[in-house]
Amino acid sequence: MRSPRLGGPSRRDRARGLRARRENAKTRRALRGKPASPSGARPCFFARTRSVGCNPQGARAPAARTDPVRRTAGKGTPVNFVRLGRVRFLAIFLSLWASVVVGRLAELQIAEGSHYRARAQRQQERRIEVSPLRGSIFDREGRPLAVSVEASSVYAICDEVRNPAAAARVLARHLDQPEAAILARLTAKKGFVWLARKVDRGAATALAAEKIPGVHFVTETKRSYPKGSLAANVIGYVGTDDKGLGGLEHFYDSTIRGKPGEIVALTDARRSTYGQAEAPSGKPPEEGASLFTSLDSGIQFAEDAHAKSGVAILLDPSDGAILAMASAPSFDPNDYGRSPGEDRRNRAIADAYEPGSTFKIVTGSLALENSLVTLDELIDTGNGTIRVGNTTISEHDRKQYGSLTLAGIFEHSSNVGIIRVGLRLGPGRLWQGATALGVGRATEIDLPGEHAGIFRRPERWSGLSNAMISMGQEVSVTPLQLARIGAAIANGGRLVQPRLVRRIVHPDGRVDVIVPSPPRRVLSEATARTVRDLLVGVVERGTGKKAAIPGFVVAGKTGTAQKAGVGGYQRGRYVSSFVGFAPSDNPKIVGLVLIEEPRGARYYGGDIAAPVFARVVSQALGILRVGPEEQRLPETLLASTSTEKIHYPEGIIPASVHSTVEPSAGPLLRPVEPPSAATPDGIPSAIGLSARQALALLARNGLAAQFEGSGFVVAQDPAPGARVRTGSICLLRLAEPAAAPEAPGKESRDRRAEELASPPPAP
């Protein structure tokens, strides 16, 4: 018998194992041949294993025989197969579990990693949009009409504000807000809160000096309109979120707005802000493109000064470029919230009116184009009335003109005469021709909110419609549509597309030139030339005499229409208008003036709108440097001069007139010049006046104005007292008044800083 210390089992152990294996084999053979144990018998758990612990009948085996079956492995070490099976099962299970976990981790990290990283980042960050620098808007000479300037916006991290009550008290003083409202915002929630957007530079500087804990600043852009209400209804305005809300600002919003940037604030699990981080993309705001318009600031100033309640439009008849467009009453886009919505509406394109007698241009042009009337034909207007169906229509002034030519009809603005001409056209040709001239069709100008007017198809006309439309009733047009018709007469019969923006300049230097639709011929040149001559007669001999401009031949037509309302025309409420152009032989400007509900006993277009047209167009011609036309005089006037008082449309002013006159041989061509002196003391002083006040002062003295800068007049050229010719341009330099905010002293600032840094007292 070998000792166990020699490394192998003893002879006794080998014998015992052999016996156990034999007995176990017998047990298995017995179990294979026997049925399941009877009911109630306890089954043997290790019946099919190599261990011995129970007998075939399910009874518990003797304790000495419960050891598992062992066998030698390697050098004879006994192996427990039950434990080995359990270990293998556990290892396989753990391996599978680990594979699943590792696979899922790999899926989360690789396949879905970017998604969950973005979600985590969104939970940790709060993004605050920062407005980009909005593109500027300039007039035709490059003078700014709308610009963007840097402004500071104030926000607070509420968790960092140590003394909300003291902070609210200081903030209210600098931000001009109620203290209670600021305190409510500081205490209503934790984290980020806006306190004020786009505050003035002075207020922001003074507030920053207070060094309030938890109050921070971010630089944004603020829209500024250097010329105030000048062309405000055309330019539009911008809201707090830097979105265009009207005019060019809205129409070209996507072009001039640029692309916003952002700041990123870090937040904790409770969404409380505890700091700032840079935007992950690192992409700053992108500046928007700038617009260069066809507007002329000088002409617009003149137009705004004379537009009290209504519309004034000046455009270039050759290409439809808008030189000026005024709508009154207007508003200041720098503070648009103080103005009612009615003042912000651009009446030149958004409102439609019955044109009245100005529509006689359309009727007369179509009759000439269709050869339905000749210039020497006499048209009987009878006793000043005409009966159409069951309705009698009379002249506007109850006068009787007898027989009139087409020129006489235009000059006297005869309703009966133009109705007889319009009835020759008939509904079909009248509707088709007027539609070709743009009646009832939007002009497609680059402005939002344009009204197309109202012009029904002939199928919907009544028996009276042909007559009423011929004299400008039962049809409505916008002022811009009417000015466009005037341009078609001025340029030889071509319908132009009105436009405001001439080119778009991008920040990278790219330039997009805006090319409008090519003009469309709607009348022959012969017809347009004939109508132009008829309109000259209206100003020289007819109802438009007050539209005359010294030194120029003006063509135009007056109009007076009763305002339509619910249930019919409104008694005592009129719209006075005048549309015309100058110089008549080579028109440079087409103008329309419309005065809504003029006050006083006189309400006719020739009395109300025509004088305004003359003043506005006269100054515009001077600004555009269009000289007076030449006229042939029957004789040369050679004489000594002396200063006398003569009557001039703006009042009595001194002028050099001839005291002795001697005829000379032969005619002489020379320009006709207006009186040579502006006032008894020369040019009046405009120093210290606002732009509007200075313009009105110069306009009353027959002078035009050209402005540089914004604010109040600080210098003028020629100097006050200089004697110049009427219609001359006076250059006015404007500047804002200097006003520096008084900064708090150092001691007071330190004392406030201590107060703000200290926590509030315990309740």
pLDDT, averaged across the chain: 79
Which of 357, 465, 584, 710 is labelled catalytic?
357
**295-338 pLDDT, tens digit each:** 998 888 766 655 557 899 999 999 999 999 999 888 999 888 88
Number of domains in the chain: 5
**500-546 pLDDT, tens digit each:** 999 999 999 899 999 888 999 999 999 999 999 999 999 999 999 99
- Pairing assessment for the beta strands 641-648 and 501-505 based on DSSP bridges: unpaired
Task: Tell me whether residue 101 is in a domain.
Answer: no
Say whether both 490 and 612 belong to one domain: yes
**3-state SS assignment for residue 737:** coil
- Lowest mean pLDDT of 393-402, 556-565, 742-751, name the range: 742-751
Give the residue with greater pLDDT, 539 vs 65: 539
pLDDT score of 654 more than 50:
no
Say whether both 641 and 619 belong to one domain: no
Say whether both 174 and 209 belong to one domain: yes
For residue 611, is the peptide bond before it cis, meaning its omega torsion is within 30 degrees of 0?
no
Is residue 357 annotated as part of the catalytic site, yes or no?
yes
Confidence of residue 662 (pLDDT cuts 50, 70, 90): very low
Question: Which CA distances in Å does 217 have to 130, 150, 154?
Answer: 12, 12, 5
pLDDT score of 667 more than 80:
no
- Pairing assessment for the beta strands 501-505 and 391-394 based on DSSP bridges: unpaired
Taking the model in full, what pTM does it have?
A: 0.66
Q: DSSP class of residue 476?
A: B
Domain boundary among 69, 86, 103: 86
Task: Tell me whether residue 104 is in a domain.
Answer: no
Q: At what angle do helices 164-175 and 746-757 cross, to 10 degrees?
A: 140
Q: What is the pLDDT of residue 306?
A: 55
Task: Tell me whether residue 105 is in a domain.
Answer: no
Task: Tell me whether residue 546 is in a domain.
Answer: yes
Task: Tell me whether residue 2 is in a domain.
Answer: no
Domain boundary among 596, 629, 662: 629
Say whether both 625 and 654 belong to one domain: no
Helices (H), 273-414: 297-306, 347-350, 360-369, 406-412
Domain boundary among 233, 268, 293: 293
Say whether both 580 and 497 belong to one domain: yes
Task: Tell me whether residue 5 is in a domain.
Answer: no
Say whether both 306 and 403 belong to one domain: yes
pLDDT score of 648 more than 50:
no
**3-state SS assignment for residue 223:** strand
Q: What is the pLDDT of residue 730?
A: 82
Q: What is the pLDDT of residue 711?
A: 73
Say whether both 302 and 372 belong to one domain: yes
Say whether both 484 and 589 belong to one domain: yes
Q: What is the pLDDT of residue 350?
A: 93
Give exposure, 364-395, as e/b (b: 16+ Cβ within 10 Å).
Answer: bbbbbbeebbeeeeebebeebebeeeeeebeb
Confidence of residue 736 (pLDDT cuts 50, 70, 90): low
Whole-number percent of the chain with pLDDT over 70: 75
Give the residue with greater pLDDT, 410 vs 83: 410
Question: At 190, which CATH number?
Answer: 3.90.1310.10
Backbone region of residue 179 per phi and psi (left: phi > 0; alpha: psi in -120 to 50; beta: other values): alpha
Question: At 395, which CATH number?
Answer: 3.40.710.10
Q: Which domain holds residue 36?
A: 13-86
What tokens does 299 get? 């002409």
Task: Tell me whether residue 424 is in a domain.
Answer: yes
What tokens does 553 get? 């031949």
Tokens 């939007």: give the residue: 442
Say whether both 249 and 311 belong to one domain: no
**218-263 pLDDT, tens digit each:** 777 788 898 888 899 999 999 877 889 999 999 999 999 988 877 7
Say whether both 649 and 622 belong to one domain: no
- Lowest mean pLDDT of 52-56, 201-205, 506-510, name the range: 52-56
What tokens does 233 get? 């209804």
Say whether both 272 and 318 belong to one domain: no
Say whether both 692 and 739 belong to one domain: yes
Q: What is the pLDDT of residue 664?
A: 35
Question: At 688, which CATH number?
Answer: 3.30.10.20
Task: Tell me whether residue 73 is in a domain.
Answer: yes
Nearest to 488 by CA among 609, 362, 614, 577: 362
Nearest to 216 by CA among 283, 161, 271, 279: 161
